[in-house]
Structure 1
Amino acid sequence: MKSFEEKELKRLYKPMVQTKGGNGQITIIGGSFLFHGAPILSLKTASRVVDMVFFTSPEPSIGKIAQHLKSKLFSFIWFPFDQIDEYIEKSDAILIGPGLMRYHKKISNFKFPVSSRLDEAGLETKKITERLLSEFPQKQWVIDAGSLQVMDKKFIPKDAILTPNQKEFVMLFGGEKPQVTAKKHDCIIVFKNAVTEIFSAQESSLIEGGNNGLIKGGTGDV
């Protein structure tokens, strides 16, 4: 496994045309009545580097929080969830999962199939996640948190970026090795830790220089 070097940052995507909106558009889907802070962290970070940030949630009350935040952070657009397909169509990338509901109660036994562990809240997140992934597989997806915990792995789009913690990885893939999983599903897996591990179908890398603070909840949302 090779170490990621700072000079490789220059290989990151840069828009061909430097115009308004030329630095990309992203849609963020997340938040619930229980987890309303997670997508806000994602929103703040994306607003610093992406030209157009669109934000929505299946939980209507998140809209009030977004409108309050917009008075301090102007570089995003909140839209009603029933317009989700329209905004995905015009986005370059979509982040789904931060703050979406998994279960109303904490689950400690992960040996049973996902479908048998979910309550109404988890089933709704599963339905939303799998529908959008299957209807827009050509988009660049980043799948996080709530969506990872409830979805079926057969819905993972090609080249999707998955950001599981250890528990979420086991819930979705069982005892598979991350490198095997990345090749099988042609995706990218990012394990956040003091040393972050990244696995793709072609290679694996280490990003050093972090610390144990990367284990803290919310760092994946950023």
Structure 2
Amino acid sequence: MVQLSEDILHKVIKKRPEISHKGTFGRVVLIGGNQQYGGAIIMSAEACIKSGAGLTTVITAEKNHSALHARLPETMVLAFWETTMIYQVLEQADVILIGPGLGLDKTAITLLKGVLKTQKAQQWLVIDGSAISLFSEYNLSLKFPSQTVFTPHQAEWERLSGLSFIEQTDENNRAQQALIGAKIVLKSHRTTIYDDAVSYYQNPLGNPGMATGGMGDTLAGMITGFLAQFEKGMDTIGAAVYLHSLIGDDLSEKNYVVLPTTISEALPRYMKKYAIERK
């Protein structure tokens, strides 16, 4: 077991090169937010953009477009029905996130199957929220390339892995991760990351004030934004997980509840600090 610490932030977060442009920091596509749960994908997008992704396109229900652009004018946006353009932006993406607020209907499963079918060897895929539930709902295949990341909470992990809460030991979780092939970010009061390359990473941070709707959507957006611009791998995923909780812990010192959007708001300031401190 490797316990995450502040060292992971100094290792991963680096100064931006003087000669750079939007494409230098990655092209990201986020898919989610049906008519009921538009806030989920908006929070993911905010975390992704404020963690530094270069170009971000959000594919969401048309009902959410005005709210998304009002909060995040930096995003590009497509509706679920714009199939031709969806596959064009997916073709160009470095990292894809699917699931926050996506729902479980036919549109959701069509989008998920399309993403799984077209994922390229160089593209990273983050699967969160509703998209995780769709695997058990539709009995989809559970063998993935290593550049795929699932971000389940314990109930979603139960559906994905078949392990009940009491069976979710580190040994059993590692065994199931090996069968699935993808990296697993198992969210809890002490989030744990499982991957074949290491025994597992454990995050020592987090607090009850973070038990708020949208916290997982924000983490998924951060992981996506980090993978878009930094070296792709476990350290980068670990850095996103650790920084998410570190900001949450700092905010909890003066706040009874830590809102996900306040974590996103703080991201540029924290990342600047660690980029400057990097040795």
Task: Report the TM-score when normalising by structure 2.
Answer: 0.65
Q: Deviations over 1:21-53 (max 9, x none)?
A: 211121110101111110010111111111111
**Which residue is 2:12 aligned to?**
12
Query: Is 2:124 the counterpart of 1:126?
Result: no
Q: 2: distance between equivalents of 1:131 and 1:13?
A: 32
Runs of 4+ in 1 over 4 A off after TM superposition: 13-17
Q: Is the 8 A contact 1:22 1:51 kept in 2?
A: yes
Structure 1 unaligned runs (5+)? Answer: 103-120
Q: 2: distance between equivalents of 1:28 and 1:144?
A: 11
Q: Is the 8 A contact 1:134 1:155 kept in 2?
A: no
Query: 1:11-160, aligned counterparts within 5 Å?
Result: 11-12=11-12, 18-48=20-50, 49-57=52-60, 59-69=61-71, 73-81=72-80, 82=82, 83-102=85-104, 121=105, 123-138=106-121, 139-151=123-135, 152-154=140-142, 156-160=144-148
**Which residue is 1:209 aligned to?**
205
Q: 2: distance between equivalents of 1:206 and 1:133?
A: 28
DSSP 3-state at the match of 2:24: coil
Q: Deviations over 1:47-71 (max 9, x none)?
A: 11111111112x22122322333xx
Give the number of the structure whose residues are more often helix, by fraction. Answer: 2
**Which residue is 1:190 aligned to?**
185
Q: Deviations over 1:183-212 (max 9, x none)?
A: 222211112222111111122011112113
**Which residue is 1:172 aligned to?**
160
Task: Report the TM-score when normalising by structure 1.
Answer: 0.81
| Aligned alpha-carbon RMSD (Å) | 2.1
Query: Is 2:216 the counterpart of 1:220?
Result: yes
Higher RCO (CA < 8 A, seq sep 6+): 2
Q: Classify 1:133/1:213 alpha carbon distance in 2 versus 1 (closer, same or farther; 3 Å).
A: farther
DSSP 3-state at the match of 1:190: strand
Superposed displacement of residue 127, structure 1: 2.5
Q: 2: distance between equivalents of 1:214 and 1:25?
A: 29
Task: Count the aligned residue pairs.
Answer: 199
Q: 2: distance between equivalents of 1:155 and 1:183?
A: 9
